[in-house]
Amino acid sequence: MSHVPQGMLDRAFVALGALLVAVTIAVAAFTLGDTPPGQASQPSSSKAVSTNSVTIRGFKYLPPAVKVKAGSKVTFVNDDTAQHTASSPGSGTDVETATIKKGERKTITLDKPGKFSYVCDFHPFMKGAIEVE
Amino acid sequence: MSDTLRYAGAALTLFVGAIHLQQYLDVLRDVPTIGELFLLNAAGAGVLAALLVTRLQVPAALGAIGLSLGSLVSILISRTEGGLFDYVEPTFRTPVALAVIAEVAAVAVLAAFLVLERRRAAQGRPSPGIA
């Protein structure tokens, strides 16, 4: 510490601490409130979209609800940095992707008609639904 | 020596806070509760790092140790099956590893600083960080 005046070092740390606080507050102001807590993915409020592809991004299934024909394949693409799954244990469906790593995709085939909800095993607040016609 | 430990502790605390802010922006901003906790960690780290170079350095050191210990316990819980607030950290990603190393170092460095301060107080000498 002898090479740098202590007062200058103190001011530098105060400035860096203040900068971190200021940036954090700015980030919070711009990002919090976009989505109510616990409402990150609510398929029940979403209309089912006819598609065979679900993208996982920002800890959400997009679209949160999909509609497919019986016997169709549905592909889950993980665009998140975190690992995810799409799992519907005990529902009698084949919605079980196992772990999908960053950038990976997993395809499942759905034969049984019905409406099935699924979650991520790692992050159960993530919810999705598949309607098999 | 005491000042070196204090500045090192402040730098490590800033680093821990910066990693939490980066992880919030990059990964966790949409994760309920966990995202907000990461923002609180970052802001708290900024405040504590600044306080470590003021007259409140001992309380700030205790707070910074608490912040790092809390983060370490949280990452351990998030690695368990039930996770922390429904969030499971399935992989030991590089930022997580860096944060754990910095948190362990911050706890060690600031604990050593507090020991030196306690000895100094017992000897009736003023802290060199206080003009």
Give the Cα separation of A8 and A12 in Å (integer). Answer: 6
Task: Indicate the range of A27-36, A73-82, A100-109, B47-56 predicted with least confidence.
Answer: A27-36
**Residue A106 forms beta bridges with which residues?**
A76
Q: Is residue B124 over pLDDT 80? A: no
A98 touches chain B (CB under 8 A): no
Distance of CA A18 to the CA centre of its chain: 31
> Which residues in B lie closer than 8 A to residue A27 (C-beta atoms)?
21, 24-25, 39
- Interface A-B, measured as beta-carbon pairs within 8 A, has a size of 105
pLDDT tens per residue, range A5-59: 778 888 999 999 999 999 999 999 988 865 544 444 455 556 888 889 999 988 8
Would you give the DSSP letter of residue B28?
I
Residue scoring higher pLDDT (A89 or A85):
A85
In this structure, the number of other CB atoms found within 10 A of the CB of residue A75 comes to 14
Measure the CA–CA gap between A81 and B110, rounded to whole angstroms.
Answer: 33
Tell me which of B30, B37, B88 to substitute to probe the interface with A (most A C-beta atoms closer than 10 Å). Answer: B30
Full DSSP string of A83-110: -B--B-TTSSS--B---B-TT-EEEEEE
The pLDDT tens digits for B3-47 are 899 999 999 999 999 999 999 998 888 888 899 999 999 999 999
In sequence order, what are the residues at sequence separation of 6 or more whose Cβ sits closer than 8 angstroms to the Cβ of residue A103?
A: A78, A79
The residue ranking higher by pLDDT, A91 or A65, is: A65
Is pLDDT larger for residue B20 or for residue B87?
B20
Q: Which residue of chain B has the CA closest to A124? A: B86
* CA angle in degrees (0–180, nearest 5) for A125-A129-A130: 155
CATH number of A43-132: 2.60.40.420
User: Contacts of residue A121 in chain B, CB cutoff 8 Å?
Assistant: 88
> Is B21 close to A123, i.e. CB distance below 8 A?
no
At position A21, the amino acid (one-letter code) is: V
* Chain-centre distance for alpha carbon B106: 6
More confident residue, B105 or B123: B105
Mutation pick from B27, B29, B84, B127 vs chain A, by most beta carbons of A within 10 Å, is B29
Domain ranges of chain B: 2-122
Q: Let me know: does B99 contact B71? Beta carbons within 8 Å.
A: yes
Q: Which residue has the higher pLDDT, A93 or A72?
A: A72
- Please judge whether A25 and B43 are an interchain contact, meaning their C-beta atoms are less than 8 angstroms apart: yes
Selecting from B11, B46, B53 the residue whose C-beta is nearest the C-beta of A24 gives B46
Tell me: ipTM over 0.95. no
Question: What is d(CA A76, CA A85) in angstroms, rounded to the nearest whole number?
Answer: 9
* pLDDT class of B128 with cuts at 50, 70, 90: low
pLDDT tens digit string along B88-98?
887 778 889 99
Say which residue the tokens 């244990």 belong to. Answer: A89
Q: What is the CA radius of gyration of chain A?
A: 22
